[in-house]
Amino acid sequence: MWLWHAVAEVNLALLAADHFATSIAGLFFPQRAAAMYARLFGARLELTPQIRLMLKPWSALGLFTAVAGALPIGDPQRYRGILYALLVLLALRVYIRVGSARGLQNEFGISGRRNWFHVYLIAQAATIIAAQLIWW
């Protein structure tokens, strides 16, 4: 049983770390963020004035998600509500990636293979959180 708890906590820690790193980059270092998004997601992101303006609030929301998502680590029972919120967020991210696959490829150069790989990773993280909610 301890292994399952470790897997669940590592899942939450990785989600928080991903949101934290990508959000800090987007908020304070947009050039580095664009390079990071290219490496992580295969996205070509032109830093137009509109994209730069959009990155600030988007990154602030991501930073909030990182902090809130770290709270259940060590005490998932106390923060069940956050686990439900994370589950909704991840389900929406799968929905967006699946529904926007063609646009992601056309506008950002994200290949279908790369997109589906990220859909898999997001769904896997969501499945682990759903299991936490069911079994804890």
pLDDT tens digits for 82-111?
999 999 999 999 999 999 999 999 999 999
Task: Quote the number of domains for the chain.
Answer: 1
- What range defines the domain where residue 13 resides? 2-135
What is the pTM assigned to this prediction?
A: 0.92
Q: What is the pLDDT of residues 61-78, one digit of tens each?
A: 999 999 999 999 999 999
How far CA 93 is from CA of 5, 70, 74, 123, in Å, comes to 24, 19, 25, 9
